[in-house]
């Protein structure tokens, strides 16, 4: 996020920022000039301006530079802000060191201050660590803040668990309902197959006539007229879909002439 070596900014030789349209305002230049002339309070303000983009573009490297400059001059606000940004960047040892220096200057709650800041940034593990550190040295009011933090975490875990359970229950309900509707699915398939067999029979009879003529080496036009006029069919669905083609003999019995099943024809 920014330079991990704040010690490299001891030399704060003034370099005036470039004015770019209206991205840097007059108040920023006033603070900047005061800071470069040694005003410690303005150093802290300048660090804040860079950190939050007040009057200038956000720049964490410059923010930590000016907080460090103020901290080196004994300003406890500069120390705590520097420690806060170091903690955010994972430089725990340096952050602890500056918190201790700030405490020597009269700022008692540096650890819990950092914990609250990391909490606001969603750094849960970092916040836990700094709340623990603050609790170990018994910072003022830290136990209430720590308890509130842990309660918020518990509520969040409970909410996430409830949502997860609700989703699982919903999925289970849908899944069970899906199984309950298998009968409807089976009926739907039955109706579909029956419709395909029955309502598509005329076209299949003509196809059968062509297939029959080919297999029997007969004249197609004659065979076609004969099949269309005399051939009948029976439809079965079980144990598998099938149509049986036949002609009625004089005694009323059926003479099987062919069949259609599994998308193919057979001829007797």
pLDDT tens profile 112-130: 999 999 988 888 888 889 9
* Whether residue 18 has pLDDT greater than 90: no
Separation CA 40–CA 205 (nearest Å): 100
Beta bridge partners of 258: 245, 267
- Comparing 219 with 34, the larger pLDDT belongs to 34
On the CB side of 50, how many CA atoms lie within 13 Å of its CA?
A: 23
Mean pLDDT of the residues in the chain: 76
**Maximum CA pair distance of the chain?**
124
Question: Residue 245, class by beta-carbon neighbours within 10 Å (0-12 exposed, 13-18 middle, 19+ buried)?
Answer: buried
Most confident of 100-114, 161-175, 210-224: 100-114
Residue 182 has pLDDT above 70, yes or no: no
For residues 200 and 223, the model is more confident at 223
- Residue 46 pLDDT > 80: yes
Burial class of residue 135 (count of CB atoms within 10 Å of its CB; 0-12, 13-18, 19+): middle
The pLDDT value recorded for residue 63 is 93
Label residue 252 left, alpha or beta by phi (over 0 means left) and psi (-120 to 50 means alpha).
left
* pLDDT at residue 229 tops 70: no
Mean pLDDT confidence for 88-103: 91
pLDDT(204) > 90: no
pTM for the whole structure: 0.53
Q: Tens of pLDDT along 1-15?
A: 444 444 444 444 444
Which of the two residues, 74 and 238, has the higher pLDDT score? 74
pLDDT at 65 over 90: yes
22 contact partners, CB below 8 Å, separation of at least 6? none
- More confident call, 223 vs 149: 149
User: What average pLDDT does the segment 66-88 reach?
Assistant: 94
The whole-number average pLDDT for the span 18-33 is 68
């Amino acid at each position: 996020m920014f330079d991990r070596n704040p010690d490299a900014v001891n030399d704060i030789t003034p370099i005036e920022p470039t004015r770019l349209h209206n991205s840097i305002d007059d108040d920023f230049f006033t603070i900047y000039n005061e800071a470069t002339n040694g005003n410690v309070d303005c150093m802290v303000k300048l660090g804040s301006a860079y950190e939050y983009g007040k009057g200038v573009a956000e720049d964490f490297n410059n923010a930590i530079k000016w907080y460090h400059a103020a901290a080196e001059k004994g300003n406890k606000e500069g120390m705590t802000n520097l420690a806060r940004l170091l903690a955010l960047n994972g430089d725990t040892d340096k952050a602890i060191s500056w918190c201790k220096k700030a405490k020597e200057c009269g700022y008692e709650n540096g650890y819990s201050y950092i914990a609250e800041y990391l909490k606001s940034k969603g750094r849960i593990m970092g916040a836990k660590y700094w709340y623990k550190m603050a609790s170990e040295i018994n910072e003022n009011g830290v136990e209430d803040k720590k308890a509130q933090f842990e309660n918020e975490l518990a509520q969040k875990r409970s909410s996430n668990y409830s949502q997860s359970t609700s989703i699982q229950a919903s999925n289970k309900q849908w899944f069970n309902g899906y199984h309950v509707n298998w009968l409807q699915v089976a009926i739907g398939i039955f109706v579909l197959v029956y419709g395909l067999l029955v309502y598509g029979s005329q076209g299949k009879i003509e196809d059968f006539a062509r297939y029959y003529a080919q297999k029997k080496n007969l004249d197609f036009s004659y065979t076609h007229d004969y099949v269309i006029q005399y051939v009948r069919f029976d439809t079965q669905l079980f144990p598998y879909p099938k149509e049986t083609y036949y002609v009625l003999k004089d005694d009323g019995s059926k003479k099987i002439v062919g069949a259609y099943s599994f998308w193919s024809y057979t001829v007797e």
